[in-house]
């Protein structure tokens, strides 16, 4: 889970020590000026990504169609 999060978000740190995070799937800024890494991970975990949901839907559809072709 933590590995997946690391891949999915681009985290940057501000001069005052707070963090920003941006989703690499939909390029939405998920949070800005978050004070701790713990809060950052919590916010990332709650991001419902429209792009990721779409890609998972397409992957599931492709898998279903591939299965249908085999039968
Ligand atoms: Zn996203």
> Is the distance from CB of 48 to CB of 42 less than 8 angstroms?
no
Q: What pLDDT was estimated at residue 1? A: 44
Distance 30 CA to ligand 1 centre (A): 8
Q: What pLDDT was estimated at residue 52? A: 87
Could you tell me the two tokens for 32?
Answer: 């800005």
> Is the distance from CB of 36 to CB of 21 less than 8 angstroms?
no
Q: What pLDDT was estimated at residue 22? A: 96
The CB-side HSE value for 40 (13 A sphere, CA atoms) comes to 23
**What residue segments make up the domains of the chain, in order of their start?**
2-70
Distance CA 33, CA 18 (A): 5
Does residue 48 come out as left (phi exceeding 0), alpha (psi in the -120 to 50 range) or beta?
beta
pLDDT tens over the chain, length 71 residues: 444 544 689 999 999 999 999 999 999 999 999 999 999 999 999 999 999 889 889 999 999 998 887 76
Distance 11 CA to ligand 1 centre (A): 13
Q: What pLDDT was estimated at residue 67? A: 84
Distance 54 CA to ligand 1 centre (A): 11
């Amino acid at each position: 889970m933590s590995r997946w999060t690391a891949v999915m978000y681009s985290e940057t740190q501000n001069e005052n020590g707070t963090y920003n995070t941006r989703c690499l799937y939909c390029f939405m800024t998920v949070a800005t000026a978050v004070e701790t890494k713990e809060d950052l991970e919590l916010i990332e975990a709650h991001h419902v990504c429209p792009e990721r949901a779409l890609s998972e839907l397409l992957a599931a559809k492709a898998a279903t169609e591939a299965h249908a072709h085999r039968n």
